[in-house]
Structure 1
Amino acid sequence: MCATYEPPPRPIETFVFMDLEATGLPPSRPKIAEMCLFSVNRHALENPQYSNSFPKPTPLFPHLVDKLCIYINPDKPFTPTASSITGLNNEVFANNKKQSFNLHVFHMITAFFSRQHPPICLVAHNGYGYDFPLLKAELSALGISALDEIYCADTIKAMKALDRENNQLHQFLYQPSPIGSKKKYGLRDLYFKFFKVYPLNSHSAEGDVITLISIFQQRARDLMCWMDLNARQFNTIKNMYKENVRYASFSKTPMNIQPVPPSLLQDQPRRRITTVHPAILYPVDNGIDPTDNEYTPLYHRISELPDEIKNTLLLFIGLIVIVWIALKTPV
């Protein structure tokens, strides 16, 4: 029995096109190395500007586009194939002092989405098979649940649906395949189909997002209509894999990471991290809750004592040290 999902309650207003580059394919439990998000409003896709190119005008790339592109140290070796395709390797991340996937990345993603007009749909090419499960795995590794209000859609699934024989009025490629051949839905093949040249910067996250949007514009109304009816909530996506919560990755971050707002941590067990201090983490499991107003770290308590008491304590400690040294020193 096929799973059913609730579509958006009204037409999608914002399409966030995403592409990820990672250390490898699913069997290797890949880690994200590059992520790019381009946000395009429905109005821009429904009312494109056109070039004056001959013989057929081409939709110009949307002008008002919000962008978020991040390089992320995967803390894991690239497979030789992934490194040769993307041109990325672990040395370049180390040399450029890039941080791993941590709460800073999470906050950037949520802040990016908070600026977009809902309903919002995350769009990726082969998103259901790769990008969405991988992003879900990385977020879960932080011990948090996120993007619960966001929908998602896979452009390959949408394009194939539009090309079925019983949907001839809304075909994506608009032509039947030769007998014995299959239609090609790879980004490079689709781009060549419409523009007669291959795209630049293939297999970079930003380059592939630009390519995807350019292809999407060719059948924007049909694709948006399909996503209005078939997009699913991001929280229905299953993790590509599961791993232990990456507490250690936070401690590598030199800057202060603020606590995640409670509204972004919906129904999380109390064993999750509730706050992150720049010097030390306090998991709730150890019985100490740093959000408790009655709890104050020891060094904070000492710093709040009057100067007279602090000086007395220091003198007392000094005397103890002197006596201990005298007892240990042979006469």
Structure 2
Amino acid sequence: MDFPALKSEITALQMSLFAMEEENLWIADTATACQDLDAPDQHKMHETTLDAIDYSMESLYLRYLKKRMPMETYTAEQYATCLMQLVDSIPDQFINVVSIMKFSDVLPRDQKVARALFPTQSTENGEESADQNEDPDRQANEHEYDIRTFVFLDLETTGLDTTTDNITELCLIAVDREQITELGNEVVEHEYGEFPKVPRVQDKLNILIDPLSMIPNEVSRITKIDKENLEVRNKKPFSYETSMILRSFLDRQAHPICLVAHNGDAFDYLILNNHLDRVKADQTIWKEIYCADSLTGVRELRQPCERRPNGLQYLMKEVGVHHSQLLPHSAEGDTIALMVVVKLFPQNLPMWLDQHKRRFK
């Protein structure tokens, strides 16, 4: 079901997967593969027994991993993680039976329905398409002072020199302002204990990047990213295409947008700007984006007599969360940690970010 729906939307938008080399993009169905795994034993089973076998994700997860899927698995990302764990539990068997096909051979769903949902080009009588019209959210909120979307950002790099070191991992999590300012102090059960409830509606982008330079052993020890791993997994360097992926991600969000990074003014924003300049990125979207440094905000909001560390891992403990519940020193883990700190910090950190934002470019 997932593949035809995806193909339908891409076809309706008259797009191609050129960045993924569509002719070389293959797909596989885990349910079909698991059915094929059972095939050798089918002659031993009664026909009614075969019909009763449940090949749902929940059932297969329980069968092969010997445990139930986590109760909090309700997002596409969490579901995909469980799918990866399922395949990882039977890698040899899966590879031996899996049937693959080209994504280009997938038949999309009804195109009339898809085109009605996703109009993209001007019609013959001159009607404008959806992507030619100005974003109504952006237009309606140009006069508003408050930021509509906070985009939390973290980078992993080869070192701390913002002019010569390179990005190895980049994560952006975009969340509507109200989900940060209005979400209470609810918690959810996590495998490592209770964890603050994070916004359900969020956009996330996480990219691993080949830095085209050596990664010091000490850095690899901390981030768990090394040059060989990136090369073996065919991760690509930061490029103009990477900048367009970032642009598309930001352009999807409700404007005005504010990037939020911990120590961003002294590190993240500088190194990201350098990378964008190196690849001659289109600056249009970046000139519209604001940014603010949460580290500066925490320092200014504290009482002058307070002399406490302001690093992300210390702030996590301060708001009652252990950083080890995430993936510390991964771009994604640190970005989630930053979102939690901004949400739970005793003083009004979102308001400070609003009042002290500046243009990214």
Q: 2:163 & 2:221 partners in 1: Cα distance?
A: 16
Match of 2:201 among 64, 67, 82: 64
Q: Which residue in 2 is equivalent to 1:161? A: 300
The alignment status of 1:102 with 2:239, answered yes or no, reads yes
Structure 2 stretches lacking a partner, 5+ long: 1-142, 189-193
Quote the offset at 1:80 in angstroms: 2.5
Q: 1:87 & 1:106 partners in 2: Cα distance?
A: 25
CA change 1:28–1:137 in 2 (3 A) is: closer
Given that 1:15 and 1:41 are in contact with CA atoms closer than 8 Å, whether structure 2 keeps it comes out as yes
Letter in 2 for 1:201: L
CA change 1:114–1:26 in 2 (3 A) is: same
Q: Which residue in 2 is equivalent to 1:135? A: 272
Q: Does the residue aligned with 2:345 lie in a helix, a strand or coil? A: helix
Given that 2:158 and 2:165 are in contact with CA atoms closer than 8 Å, whether structure 1 keeps it comes out as yes
The alignment status of 1:76 with 2:213, answered yes or no, reads yes
Q: Which residue in 1 is equivalent to 2:66? A: none
Match of 1:222 among 348, 355, 360: 348
CA change 1:52–1:64 in 2 (3 A) is: closer
Q: Which residue in 1 is equivalent to 2:224? A: 87
Q: 1:63 & 1:160 partners in 2: Cα distance?
A: 29
Given that 1:40 and 1:62 are in contact with CA atoms closer than 8 Å, whether structure 2 keeps it comes out as yes
Letter in 2 for 1:233: R
Given that 1:16 and 1:37 are in contact with CA atoms closer than 8 Å, whether structure 2 keeps it comes out as yes
Q: Does the residue aligned with 1:110 lie in a helix, a strand or coil? A: helix
Q: Which residue in 1 is equivalent to 2:11? A: none
Q: 1:157 & 1:103 partners in 2: Cα distance?
A: 31
Given that 1:31 and 1:74 are in contact with CA atoms closer than 8 Å, whether structure 2 keeps it comes out as yes
Structure 1 stretches lacking a partner, 5+ long: 1-7, 166-175, 236-331
Q: 1:63 & 1:27 partners in 2: Cα distance?
A: 33
Quote the offset at 1:104 in angstroms: 1.7
Q: Deviations over 1:262-287 (max 9, x none)?
A: xxxxxxxxxxxxxxxxxxxxxxxxxx
TM-score, normalised relative to structure 2: 0.55
Q: Does the residue aligned with 2:156 lie in a helix, a strand or coil? A: strand
Q: Which residue in 2 is equivalent to 1:121? A: 258
Q: Higher relative CO (CA 8 A, sep ≥ 6), structure 1 or 2?
A: 1
Letter in 2 for 1:186: G
Q: Deviations over 1:228-249 (max 9, x none)?
A: 21101001xxxxxxxxxxxxxx
Quote the offset at 1:44 in angstroms: 0.7
- How do residues 117-266 of structure 1 correspond to structure 2 at under 5 angstroms? 117-146=254-283, 147-165=286-304, 177=306, 182-195=307-320, 197-199=322-324, 200-219=326-345, 222-235=348-361
Q: 1:59 & 1:94 partners in 2: Cα distance?
A: 36
TM-score, normalised relative to structure 1: 0.60
Asked which structure has the greater CA Rg, the reply is: 1
Q: 2:241 & 2:162 partners in 1: Cα distance?
A: 27
Given that 2:209 and 2:236 are in contact with CA atoms closer than 8 Å, whether structure 1 keeps it comes out as yes
Quote the offset at 1:48 in angstroms: 0.7
Letter in 2 for 1:154: D
Q: Deviations over 1:200-227 (max 9, x none)?
A: 3110000001111111111387112112
The alignment status of 1:30 with 2:165, answered yes or no, reads yes
CA change 1:10–1:72 in 2 (3 A) is: same
Identity of aligned residues (%): 33
Given that 2:319 and 2:345 are in contact with CA atoms closer than 8 Å, whether structure 1 keeps it comes out as no
Match of 1:39 among 161, 174, 178: 174
Q: 2:330 & 2:240 partners in 1: Cα distance?
A: 23
Greater Cα shift, 97-106 or 138-147: 138-147
Q: Deviations over 1:6-46 (max 9, x none)?
A: xx961101000000001111177110010000001011112
Instruction: Give the ranges of 4+ consecutive aligned residues of structure 1 lying more than 6 Å apart after TM superposition.
Output: none
Aligned residues: 212
The alignment status of 1:15 with 2:137, answered yes or no, reads no
Quote the offset at 1:161 in angstroms: 1.0
CA change 1:214–1:27 in 2 (3 A) is: closer
Q: 1:34 & 1:10 partners in 2: Cα distance?
A: 32
CA change 1:76–1:45 in 2 (3 A) is: same
Given that 1:49 and 1:59 are in contact with CA atoms closer than 8 Å, whether structure 2 keeps it comes out as no
Q: Which residue in 2 is equivalent to 1:325? A: none
Given that 1:45 and 1:220 are in contact with CA atoms closer than 8 Å, whether structure 2 keeps it comes out as no
What is the root-mean-square deviation of aligned Cα atoms in Å?
2.3
Letter in 1 for 2:318: K
Q: Which residue in 2 is equivalent to 1:258? A: none
Question: Whose helix fraction is larger, Structure 1's or Structure 2's?
Answer: 2
